[in-house]
C-alpha cells in the first residue's frame, strides 16, 4: 500500500528477540478507548485475570460503573459452549437494561474465550438481532495470545471499519485515539491550512462513524494501527506517508504531509506552521538542556518507541542505546526509521531477562519501560519513565512537544533535585 521509498540502510538489522515478554495485552487499550467513546461499552468475555488486568492498568477505581466490564467465564461455561452462549445473551440483556445509554457494545475476546473457541462474531450477530435498533454489537480481540497492548486499539478500530458508510467526498481522516483537546487543536489547524473536511476514527460518538472512500486521505496519528490502515486502504482510502506527530519536527512533517496530500499550497503550509514551529522549539529548549547527551534505552511496550526515539534523538539530543518495540511494521514506520540516527540499534519482540541484562551493562541515563519494571530499575540506580503514561497523556502535535519532552526530562530533573546527605 505504501511504496517505501526511504532508504534504511544506515540502521543495523534489528535484534529479533523471543522469550518472556513483559507487556500488557490488547485489553489494556479499553482504558483509553472507553473514554474516547462515552456512548460505548466494552464487555470483555474472559476470566478473573482479564478483569484484574484492566482494573490494575486503570490504576484506580474512578468510576462507580465504568463503561467496561468482564463477563467472567465460570466452570459451567467451560463445560459447554451452548451454555456459554446462552449465558452471554442473558448477561448482555441484563447489562443493556441497566445501562440504557449504551449505543455500541464491543464484545472483546480474550485468551480464554479464544482457546475455548467461543465465537464472538457469531455472538454479536445474534445479539445484533436481539437488540436491533437499540444498540450495535461489534466484536474484536484484545487477547494476549493475539495482541500486545496498543494492538488492542488497532483491533477495535479495524472492527469499526466495515460499519463506516461509503463516501467519495474529499476528506482528511485522522486514525488513532487522541485526547479530545489535542484533537480539537489539530483539527483547528487543519482548517486553518484550508482543509475543510477533517474526520476522526474513533469518533467521539460511536454512532457517528465517518465515511470512507476514494476521496479519503488517511493520516495515522498512532503508529500501531497496521490492521486498521490496511482495512481503510481496502475501502479506498489513500494512506499518507508521514512520520508521527511527536515533537515539533515530527508533527510539522506530519501536518505538512497531510496538507500536501490534500493539495494545500506549500506557501500556505509554511505560513501556518512556521510560527508554530518557532514557538514549539522555544518550548522545547529548556527540556533539551536536561536531555541533551543523555543515553536512552527504550524497552518494548506501545510500538510508539521508534517514533519517540526519533523525537528524543533528533530534537532533544539524546543518545539512543537501544530502541525496543514489540512489533515492527516497517511500512508504517518507514518515515520514522529513515529519521533515526545512523547506527540506531532496534530490537523487536522481547526476552526480558536478556534485555535487562543489556540495560545493566549499558547503564543508560533513562529507561522507558512498563510499570512492572520501573521501580526495580530505579532501585538499581537508573532513572525511568513509565511508558503507559505516553498513551494516556496528550502528547501529539507541535504545541505539545514541550510537554512531551518534559515527561522525559522530569525523572532526570527529579534525580538532580533530590539530596539526602
Partner 1 sequence: MELTLWTYEGPPHVGAMRIAASMEGVHYVLHAPQGDTYADLLFTMIERRDRRPPVTYTTFQARDLGGDTAELVKRSIADAVERFQPEALLVGESCTAELIQDQPGALAAGMDLGGIPMVNLELPAYSKKENWGAAETFYQLVRNLLKPQLPAPGAPKLDPTRWRAENRRPRVNLLGPSLLGFRCRDDVRELTQLLAGYGIDVAVVAPLGARPADLLRIPMADANLNLYPEVSGTVCSWLERQFGLPAVKTVPIGIGATVDFLRELHGVLGLELPAELQAERQSRLPWYSRSVDSTYLTGKRVFVFADGTHAIAAARIASRELGFEVVGLGTYSREMAREVRALAAELGLEALITDDYLAVEAAMAEAAPELVLGTQMERHSAKRLGIPCAVISSPLHVQDVPARYAPQMGWEGANVIFDSWVHPLMMGLEEHLIGMFRHDFEFVDGHRSHLGDGAPAAPVLEEPAPVAVAVAGGSLSWSADGEAELAKIPFFVRGKVRKNTEAYARDQGLAVIDSEALYEAKAHYSR
Residues forming the site for ligand SF4 (CB under 6 A): 25, 27, 46-47, 49-50, 53, 60, 110-112, 143-144
Q: Site for partner 1 (CB under 8 A): which residue of 4, 49, 128, 130?
A: 49
Residues 265-284, one symbol each (x = binds partner 1 by CB under 8 A, - = not), give --------------xx-xxx
Q: Which does 22 bind (CB under 5 to 8 A by kind): ligand SF4, partner 1, none?
A: partner 1
How many residues form the binding site for partner 1 (CB under 8 A)? Answer: 81
Instruction: Check residue 8 for interaction with partner 1 (CB under 8 A).
Output: no
Minimum CB distance to partner 1 smaller for 70 or for 228: 70
Rounded to 10 degrees, what is the CA torsion of 51, 148, 33, 226?
Answer: -160
Q: Does 146 bind partner 1 (CB under 8 A)?
A: yes
Query: Which residue of 12, 16, 74, 93 would you call a contact of partner 1, by CB under 8 A?
Result: 74
Q: Least distance from C-beta 372 to partner 1, angstroms? A: 3
Residues 206-235 that bind partner 1 (CB under 8 A): none
Residues constituting the chain: 421
User: Binding to partner 1 by residue 111, rule CB under 8 A?
Assistant: yes
22 near partner 1 (CB under 8 A) = yes
Calculate ∠ Cα 144-147-148, nearest 5°. 85
Which sign does the torsion angle of CA 241, 301, 35, 129 carry? positive
Q: Which of 266, 286, 362, 416 binds partner 1 (CB under 8 A)?
A: 286
Least spacing, CB of residue 4 vs partner 1, in Å: 25
The span from the CA of 67 to the CA of 122, in Å, is 23
Q: Which residue has the cell 482504558?
A: 31
CA 219, 221, 223, 226 torsion-angle sign: negative
**370 lies in the binding site for partner 1 (CB under 8 A):** yes
Long-range contacts of 225-228 (CB under 8 A, 24+ apart): 225/153, 225/154, 225/157, 225/175, 225/176, 225/332, 226/154, 226/329, 226/331, 226/332, 227/154, 227/155, 227/157, 227/158, 228/154, 228/157, 228/158, 228/161, 228/175, 228/201
Closest separation between CB of residue 259 and partner 1, Å? 19
Min dist. Cβ of residue 50 to ligand SF4 (A):
3
Nearer to ligand SF4, 21 or 205 (CB): 21
Ranked by CB distance to ligand SF4, the top (closest) residue is 144
Q: Does 184 bind partner 1 (CB under 8 A)?
A: yes
The cell numbers describing 50, all together, are 482479564
Residue choice 6, 7, 81, 116 for contact with partner 1 (CB under 8 A)? 116
Nearer to partner 1, 30 or 199 (CB): 30
359 makes contact with partner 1 (CB under 8 A)? no
Does 328 interact with partner 1 (rule: CB under 8 A)? no
Out of 6, 81, 93, 115, point to the residue binding partner 1 (CB under 8 A). Answer: 115
Query: With respect to ligand SF4, which residue has the nearer C-beta, 53 or 299?
Result: 53
Shortest Å, Cβ 364 to ligand SF4: 29
**Which of partner 1, ligand SF4, none is residue 55 near (CB under 5 to 8 Å by kind)?**
partner 1
Q: How far is the CB of 277 from partner 1 (least distance, A)?
A: 11
DSSP states of 154-215: HHHHHHHGGGSPB--S-EEEEES---HHHHHHHHHHHHHHT---EEEES-SSTT-PPPBSTT
Contacts of 371 (CB under 8 A, 6+ apart): 386, 388
Could you tell me which residues come within 8 angstroms of residue 75 by beta carbon, excluding any fewer than 6 positions away?
Answer: none
Burial state string for 311-324 with b = 16 or more CB within 10 A and e = fewer than 16: bbbbbbebbbbbbb
DSSP string, 131-142: TTTT-EEEEEE-
Which residue, 26 or 250, has its beta carbon nearer to partner 1? 26
Amino acid at each position: 500500500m505504501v511504496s517505501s521509498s526511504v532508504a534504511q540502510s544506515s540502521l543495523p538489522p534489528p535484534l529479533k528477540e523471543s522469550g518472556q515478554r513483559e507487556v500488557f495485552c490488547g485489553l489494556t487499550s479499553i482504558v483509553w478507548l472507553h473514554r474516547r467513546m462515552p456512548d460505548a461499552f466494552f464487555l470483555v468475555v474472559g476470566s478473573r485475570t482479564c478483569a484484574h488486568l484492566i482494573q490494575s492498568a486503570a490504576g484506580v477505581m474512578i468510576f462507580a460503573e465504568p463503561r467496561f466490564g468482564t463477563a467472567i467465564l465460570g466452570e459451567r461455561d467451560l463445560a459447554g459452549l451452548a451454555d456459554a452462549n446462552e449465558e452471554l445473551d442473558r448477561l448482555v440483556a441484563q447489562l443493556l437494561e441497566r445501562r440504557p445509554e449504551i449505543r455500541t457494545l464491543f464484545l472483546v475476546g480474550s485468551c480464554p474465550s479464544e482457546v475455548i473457541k467461543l465465537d464472538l462474531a457469531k455472538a454479536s450477530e445474534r445479539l445484533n438481532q436481539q437488540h436491533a435498533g437499540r444498540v450495535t454489537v461489534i466484536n474484536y480481540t484484545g487477547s494476549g495470545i493475539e495482541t500486545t497492548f496498543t494492538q488492542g486499539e488497532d483491533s477495535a478500530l479495524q472492527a469499526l471499519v466495515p460499519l463506516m458508510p461509503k463516501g467519495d467526498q474529499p476528506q482528511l481522516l485522522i486514525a488513532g485515539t487522541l485526547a479530545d483537546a489535542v484533537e480539537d487543536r489539530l483539527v483547528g489547524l487543519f482548517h486553518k491550512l484550508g482543509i475543510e473536511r477533517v474526520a476522526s476514527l474513533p469518533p467521539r460518538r460511536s454512532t457517528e462513524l465517518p465515511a470512507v472512500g476514494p476521496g479519503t486521505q488517511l493520516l495515522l496519528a498512532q503508529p500501531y494501527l497496521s490492521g486498521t490502515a490496511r482495512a481503510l486502504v481496502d475501502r479506498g482510502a489513500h494512506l499518507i506517508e508521514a512520520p508521527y506527530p511527536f515533537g515539533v519536527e515530527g508533527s510539522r512533517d506530519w501536518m505538512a504531509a497531510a496538507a500536501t496530500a490534500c493539495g494545500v499550497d506549500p506557501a500556505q503550509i509554511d505560513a501556518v506552521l512556521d510560527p508554530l514551529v518557532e514557538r514549539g522549539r522555544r518550548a522545547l529548549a529548556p527540556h533539551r538542556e536536561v536531555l541533551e547527551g543523555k543515553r536512552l534505552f527504550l524497552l518494548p511496550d506501545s510500538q510508539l518507541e521508534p517514533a519517540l526515539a526519533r523525537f528524543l534523538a533528533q530534537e532533544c539530543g539524546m543518545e539512543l542505546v537501544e530502541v525496543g518495540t514489540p512489533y515492527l511494521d516497517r511500512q508504517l514506520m518507514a518515515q520514522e526509521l529513515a529519521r533515526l540516527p545512523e547506527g540506531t540499534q532496534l530490537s523487536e519482540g522481547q526476552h526480558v531477562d536478556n534485555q535487562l541484562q543489556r540495560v545493566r551493562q549499558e547503564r543508560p541515563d533513562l529507561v522507558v519501560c512498563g510499570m512492572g519494571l520501573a521501580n526495580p530499575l530505579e532501585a538499581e540506580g537508573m532513572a525511568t519513565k513509565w511508558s503507559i503514561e505516553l498513551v494516556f497523556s496528550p502528547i501529539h502535535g507541535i504545541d505539545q512537544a514541550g510537554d512531551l519532552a518534559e515527561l522525559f526530562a522530569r525523572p532526570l530533573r527529579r534525580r538532580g533535585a533530590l539530596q539526602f546527605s
